[in-house]
């Protein structure tokens, strides 16, 4: 190879190395810029997500929390602005906007990121069984609780009862075993167990009266006295109703009304007195009564109160699934408690499709005692909320054998304006 050829090779290699060096430098520079961009965006997102979590925690601790006294929250080189709104449907909407400022080549830039989430008040009907006060009784081997369970006191178990939904308690659990032949202490929590969880038991009758007064139906005696109201639901979407002054025996002449005009928002409320119920529900309604004295605030079930279609479909023995053909839903609210009347219609089983709310007690049977005859089975397909469990039957067969099955539709839907807790849960999160 001559001198000219060598010179060409040297120049070629020099050009090649120059190009490679340039590309290498350019690639390194781009990688550094992408890394810086990724860091900036990630930092802004983390600030927004942290602010959203802080806001959610504040609201969980205080349901009336409406934001910080200052509207900015500084962290990690940036800051967040949290906007809170509470629409009329009781949901709280949060917008956490993060702003991260940085300098590049002597100029100031900023990167924004947002996290939006919605909280809603936890409705009591989402519990398969809620009891404010558990008492000294036990759930024992052979007992099965369907749906989420909660109590504000300590839960007692003996042996191995089964809980199909999540169990929460405020004061823990007392697990007892090897007594009375019930085997070792081994309760089954198929949906998990958590404590302490505080879900206070409250009832706002003024709010229910307000809802019923604006599009629903309110019953009240003209003189302000206590009033008894009788409602019999018909499958053709009508209701037959009558009234009497509490303590008297004569009911007014029954009137049949179309439910779509009788109550446009589905809420029927007796301002003070008692409520007598029966029939087949076509639609979605919440009915109830406030108390006006010692013997009022009761909802009396005079016969079955059911939907057109059972909300449950039974498969594989006792296993149930949601019946897609059932579109009806009922909430029953008693400021005192729900009572099954001891009459001819109820002495051979009673079927109840509803979410039952008993503020001063729990569902019971009129005049129940251990000397009562056997009345068959009390089937509750829905949800049971009560202050404390009451007697519905005895081990000698008196009264009812009680079966409670959870209507899983209550996980995501509730009867109109059914009572909600003072706690919130996150129903959507977007980032």
Condensed to tens digits (0 to 9), the pLDDT of residues 325-334 reads 999 999 999 9
Most confident of 21-30, 115-124, 391-400: 391-400
Of 430, 358, 366, 427, give the one whose Cα is nearest residue 133. Answer: 358
**Band of pLDDT at residue 52, cut at 50, 70 and 90:** confident
Q: What is the pLDDT of residue 27?
A: 63
Residue 195 above 90 pLDDT? yes
**Band of pLDDT at residue 62, cut at 50, 70 and 90:** confident
DSSP state of 393: B
> Which two structure tokens, joined as six digits, stand for 205?
């009758």
Asked which of 68-72, 258-262, 358-362 is least confident by mean pLDDT, the reply is 68-72
Of 41, 51, 39, 50, give the one whose Cα is nearest residue 111. Answer: 41
How many whole angstroms separate alpha carbon 185 and alpha carbon 175? Answer: 6
Is 99 exposed, middle or buried, given 0-12, 13-18 or 19+ CB atoms closer than 10 A? middle
**Band of pLDDT at residue 7, cut at 50, 70 and 90:** low
Q: What is the pLDDT of residue 99?
A: 84
Task: Kindly report, residue by residue over 274-292, the tens digit of the pLDDT.
Answer: 999 999 999 999 999 999 9
Residues contacting 266, CB < 8 A, separation 6+: 216, 283, 284, 285, 286, 415, 416, 417
Task: Report whether 320 contacts 275 (CB < 8 A).
Answer: no
Tell which wins on pLDDT, 102 or 292: 292
Residue 260 above 80 pLDDT? yes
Residue with tokens 């965006």: 41
Of 240, 213, 214, 201, give the one whose Cα is nearest residue 335. Answer: 201
Of 90, 86, 92, give the one whose Cα is nearest residue 52. Answer: 92
Q: In angstroms, what CA-CA distances link 283 with 125, 287, 328?
A: 17, 12, 5
Asked which of 20-29, 142-151, 365-374 is least confident by mean pLDDT, the reply is 20-29
Q: What is the pLDDT of residue 240?
A: 98
Q: What is the pLDDT of residue 88?
A: 47
Most confident of 51-55, 80-84, 139-143, 337-341: 337-341
Helix, strand or coil for residue 30? helix
Q: Is the dihedral of CA 261, 265, 266, 269 positive or negative?
A: negative
End-to-end CA distance of the chain: 67
Question: Residues 156-171: what's their mean pLDDT?
Answer: 95
Tell which wins on pLDDT, 122 or 240: 240
CA 362 to chain centroid: 19
Tell which wins on pLDDT, 73 or 197: 197
- pTM recorded for the entire structure: 0.79
Please, how many CA atoms are within 13 Å of residue 288, restricted to the half-sphere of its CB? 34
Residue 370 above 90 pLDDT? yes
């Amino acid at each position: 190879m001559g001198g000219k050829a060598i010179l060409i090779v040297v120049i070629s290699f020099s050009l090649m190395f120059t190009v490679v060096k340039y590309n290498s430098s350019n690639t390194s520079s781009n990688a550094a810029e992408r890394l810086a961009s990724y860091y900036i965006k990630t930092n802004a997102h983390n600030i927004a997500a942290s602010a959203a979590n802080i806001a959610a925690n504040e609201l969980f601790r205080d349901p009336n929390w409406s934001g910080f006294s200052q509207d900015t929250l500084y962290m990690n080189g940036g800051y967040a602005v949290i906007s809170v709104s509470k629409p009329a449907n009781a949901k709280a909407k949060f917008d956490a906007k993060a702003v991260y400022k940085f300098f590049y080549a002597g100029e100031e830039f900023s990167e924004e990121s947002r996290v939006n989430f919605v909280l809603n008040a936890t409705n009591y009907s989402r519990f398969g069984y809620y009891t404010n006060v558990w008492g000294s009784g036990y759930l024992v081997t052979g007992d099965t609780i369907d749906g989420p369970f909660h109590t504000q006191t300590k839960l007692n178990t003996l042996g191995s009862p089964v809980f199909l939904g999540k169990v929460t308690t405020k004061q823990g659990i007392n697990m007892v075993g090897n007594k009375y032949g019930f085997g070792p202490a081994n309760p089954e929590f198929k949906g998990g167990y958590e404590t302490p969880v505080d879900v206070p038991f409250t009832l706002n009758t003024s709010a229910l009266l307000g809802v019923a007064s604006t599009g629903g139906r309110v019953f009240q005696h003209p003189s302000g006295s206590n009033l008894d109201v009788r409602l019999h639901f018909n499958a053709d979407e009508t209701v037959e109703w009558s009234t009497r002054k509490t303590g008297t025996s004569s009911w007014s002449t029954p009137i049949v009304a179309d439910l779509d005009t009788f109550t446009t928002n589905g809420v029927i409320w007796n301002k003070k007195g008692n409520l007598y119920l029966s029939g087949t529900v076509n639609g979605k309604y919440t009915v109830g009564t406030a108390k006006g004295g010692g013997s009022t605030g009761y909802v009396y079930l005079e016969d079955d109160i059911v939907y057109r279609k059972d909300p449950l479909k039974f498969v594989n023995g006792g296993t149930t699934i949601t019946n897609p053909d059932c579109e009806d839903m009922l909430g029953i609210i008693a400021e005192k408690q729900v009572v099954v009347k001891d009459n001819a219609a109820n002495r051979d089983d009673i079927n109840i499709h509803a979410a039952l709310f008993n503020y001063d007690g729990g569902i019971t049977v009129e005049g129940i005692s251990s000397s009562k005859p056997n009345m068959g089975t009390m089937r509750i397909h829905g949800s049971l909320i009560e202050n404390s469990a009451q007697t519905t039957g005895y081990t000698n067969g008196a009264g009812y054998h009680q079966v409670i099955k959870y209507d899983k539709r209550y996980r995501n839907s509730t009867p109109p304006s059914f009572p909600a807790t003072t706690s919130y849960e996150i129903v959507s999160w977007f980032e």
